[in-house]
Amino acid sequence: MHLICAKRLRIRNAAAATLIGGTLLLAGCVSRVSIESINHDPARFGGKDLKVAGRVVNSFTVAASGAFELDNGTGRLWVFRDKKDLPAHNSSLTVNGKIEQGFEFGGRNFIIILRETSRH
């Protein structure tokens, strides 16, 4: 009888550890968000790590930095990059970054921009 209870306790502890570990792992994941959601309520995403996918439809560089515009079918979003090597026009990619509002770059003003932290 004690052996069965000990096995059940170990199984419950293992299940709880798996659940807690999975929750912690997911908490560290970057959320994939539609451009439409960002454009609709940018304040909701301010300062959060986001993942946005789309096709490059526009780009420009100034000095050592650059910006490119992504379109994912739900809307368009400019992405700022601290490097001037930009993705090719019409290429599809996923970008991780943080939303900023009221951004100026290259003589242009952007209401919303994603500051790139990594690209896939």
* Structural domains in the chain, sorted by start: 36-116 (2.40.50.140)
Q: Is beta strand 76-81 parallel, antiparallel or unpaired with respect to 92-105?
A: unpaired
pLDDT of 104 reads: 82
97 burial level (CB within 10 Å; 0-12, 13-18, 19+): buried
pLDDT tens per residue across span 87-110: 999 999 999 999 988 888 888 888
CB-count exposure of residue 67 (10 Å: 0-12, 13-18, 19+): buried
Radius of gyration for the chain, computed over Cα atoms and rounded to the nearest angstrom: 21
Spans in the chain with pLDDT lower than 70? 1-30
| Predicted pLDDT of residue 4 | 60
- What pTM was estimated for this model as a whole? 0.72
So what's the pLDDT on residue 61?
84
d(CA 63, CA 101): 22
pLDDT value for 8: 60
